[in-house]
Amino acid sequence: MLVSSLSLYAHFPWCVKKCPYCDFNSHPLTGSLDENAYLEALAVDLGATSHVLEGRQIDTVFLGGGTPSLFSPDAMARLIEALTMHLTNAPEITMEANPGTTEHHDFAGYLAAGVNRLSIGAQSFDPAQLKRLGRIHDVGDISRAVSAAQLAGFDNLNIDLMYGLSDQTLEAALGDLQRAIDLGPTHISWYQLTIEPKTEFARRPPPLPDEATIATMELAGRDLMAQHGYDRYEISAYARTGARCRHNLNYWTFGDYIGIGAGAHGKLTNAHQVVRTHKPRQPRLYLRDPTHTIEQYIDPNAIVGEFMMNALRLVDGVDREEFQRRTGLAWSTVATTWALTSDLGLTEPDRIAATALGLQHLDTLVQHFL
């Protein structure tokens, strides 16, 4: 297997409070944040990955959460400084920022630290929805955060937005999208709200719009974004020209990445095998031994399914050569199944890509390869 590109994900596991729909590894912050302790742990964690970094460079970094923007620009500068010798010439370095936390820090500081892409978690522009989602920010915080970031010099900016919210109408969903577009981000991640097991919303489900309304929202939302120059390149990702998220593209093309921080996941390929790594989820346990990594080799029979689960999310898909390059398997391994899904109208006959119908029924499509 020939694998070159490498990404790094660093997880920041604390939030001001836990949102009722969220199943990410996030923990309500009780007491004050010990930035130093966590930064030291990340440095130790990173140090333990030196064997992976040998002969390879990191092209994208994602500082995700949780709420990374609870950490100061100085903290981010320390982490990025520790990474510098491993980075390519023009790395993409993204940080997630929650409106409602950023007023404490100046965006110019994050930019100076080396962050060059921001992802702002707006979620909705409707005050009642923000409340139902348990968010700590109000609508004004969103536009203030985006304007401050743009003024500070961030020219690569994503807005996270959700649709299919409680009792949401088509007009309301499109209204949210239009407000996001009006702020002029280069990228919009537009996610359908999903009810994740073991969350507060799973215990007490909100009244969601029916499937037909959701389907209409999707089509109308896609049109609206297209009219404003946002190209849909993945199920939920829309970008202006040149602003596709390189970090996520690496995931979707089954590239390698190191995961550091509490609960972070990684995926690495050696000559013969693909190994998934993860770190202890509880910050307390992670801090006790940041080098502790749980490794799980992917059964070669499962690699095809994992590859397809990622690659088929991309609207344009990937070349067949990419399949061999990333999985080490010949195309003939999947040729029969591929022909079957193409006959069903779910995949393109000569490229690893889902059709419009396949994208609409992605879970069913991927099942064929699992």
Ligand X SMILES: C[S@@+](CC[C@H](N)C(=O)[O-])C[C@H]1O[C@@H](n2cnc3c(N)ncnc32)[C@H](O)[C@@H]1O
Considering only 41-49, 190-198, 273-281, 332-340, which stretch makes contact with ligand X by CB under 6 A? 190-198
User: Cβ closer to ligand SF4: 59 or 160?
Assistant: 160
Residue nearest to ligand X as judged by C-beta position = 121
Tokens for 282, please give them. 């509880």
By C-alpha distance, which of 108, 76, 42 is closest to 258?
Answer: 42
Q: How far is the CB of 189 from ligand X (least distance, A)?
A: 6
Three-class SS of 194-241: CCCCCCHHHHCCCCCCCHHHHHHHHHHHHHHHHHCCCEEEECCEEECC
Residue 160 binding ligand X, by CB under 6 A: yes
Residues 92-121 vs ligand X: string with x where CB under 6 A? ----x-x----------------------x
Which residues in 107-166 contact ligand SF4 (CB under 6 A)?
121
Place of tokens 């010990």: 34
User: Cβ closer to ligand SF4: 65 or 91?
Assistant: 65
Work out what residue 283 binds among ligand SF4, ligand X, none; the CB cut-off runs from 5 to 8 Å by kind. Answer: none
Residues 64-103 vs ligand SF4: string with x where CB under 6 A? -xxx------------------------------x-----
* Cα separation values, 51 from 47, 54, 95, 244, 268, Å: 9, 5, 26, 30, 12
Tokens for 285, please give them. 């346990």
- Dihedral angle of Cα 9, 14, 17, 23, to the nearest 10 degrees: 40
Residues 7-26 vs ligand X: string with x where CB under 6 A? --------------xx-x--
Tokens for 251, please give them. 């995931």
Report how far residue 28's alpha carbon sits from residue 14's, in angstroms, rounded to the nearest whole number. 6
Q: Using N-to-C axis directions, what is the helix angle for 320-327 and 300-311, rounded to 10°?
A: 140
User: Cβ closer to ligand SF4: 201 or 254?
Assistant: 201
Work out what residue 18 binds among ligand SF4, ligand X, none; the CB cut-off runs from 5 to 8 Å by kind. Answer: ligand SF4
Applying CB under 6 A, the residues found at the interface with ligand X are 21-22, 24, 64-65, 67, 96, 98, 121, 123, 160, 162, 191, 193-194, 196
